[in-house]
Amino acid sequence: MSPMNDKLIVRDYFNNTGFERWRRIYGDEAVNRIQHSIRVGHQRTCERVLEWLGDVRDQSICDAGCGLGSLSFPLAERGARVFATDISEKMILEARRRQKSRLPDSDNPRFEVLELEQIDGRYDTVVCLDVLIHYPLDQVEKMLAHLSNRAGEHLILTYAPKTLLFAALKKVGEFFPGANKTTRAYQHRSEDIEAILTRLGWKILRRAAIDDKFYFARLVMTARPASAGVA
């Protein structure tokens, strides 16, 4: 599939059935046990990122592929200046709606409809959680190259590791129901992702495996080589 097609299909998914599905997963209403497991795993990922980042006051953070702002909101509440972007207009509209009740009268986070490779500017930290699962490795490499240029101190990302359970889940179609259900979740090898990050000039500062029954993520935090030993 061409890179353009991949993006169009992902955008369409997250503006339609995917929007409803992930809105429920990222909310607190009753969901089935698979979605509940994904919700719990994703919450643990966000908590770990917040723990790793520690004091974020006055830091600039870009949440690339922010979804409904599960990470953007707590970062803003802790004092970071957050630029949050997503390819899906529906996601951004819902995030802005939530902002009105969660952080009224604040324009932080600043939510914008943008795909990863349209993000401009430079930030202390760029975070990209649970997005790379939607793309094959060659596109992941291009996306990480772009995000890398936007990040001053840290790049933090997740990817779906190649595991048997995850492959089974993919077949069941839990991630992508519908005609494309078996073709749309990409798993990546840690060696491949880390090789890309190394080529882009990063050192791996921290790694975590965050697994629940139906949620599998590898979380990586990088730093520029000069500061890699310090944190």
Which spans of this chain sit near ligand SAM (rule: CB under 6 A)? Answer: 7, 10, 14, 22, 42, 65-67, 70-71, 86-88, 91, 115-116, 129-131, 134
Gap between the Cα atoms of 40 and 155, Å rounded: 23
CB of 189 to ligand SAM, least distance (A): 20
CB of 226 to ligand SAM, least distance (A): 28
Task: Decide whether 136 or 225 has the Cβ nearer to ligand SAM.
Answer: 136
Q: Residue 78's closest CA among 95, 101, 53?
A: 53
Task: Decide whether 59 or 70 has the Cβ nearer to ligand SAM.
Answer: 70
Intra-chain end-to-end CA distance of the chain, in Å: 40
Q: Which residues pair with 213 in a beta bridge?
A: none
Task: Decide whether 126 or 197 has the Cβ nearer to ligand SAM.
Answer: 126
CB 138 within 8 A of CB 145: no
- Distances 54 to 70, 73, 168, 187 between C-alpha atoms, Å: 17, 15, 36, 29
Task: Decide whether 203 or 208 has the Cβ nearer to ligand SAM.
Answer: 208
> Rounded to the nearest 5°, which phi and psi values hold at 18?
-65, -35
CB of 117 to ligand SAM, least distance (A): 7
Gap between the Cα atoms of 34 and 121, Å rounded: 38
CB of 162 to ligand SAM, least distance (A): 18
Q: Which residue is nearest to ligand SAM (CB)?
A: 67
Task: Decide whether 10 or 76 has the Cβ nearer to ligand SAM.
Answer: 10
CB of 9 to ligand SAM, least distance (A): 10
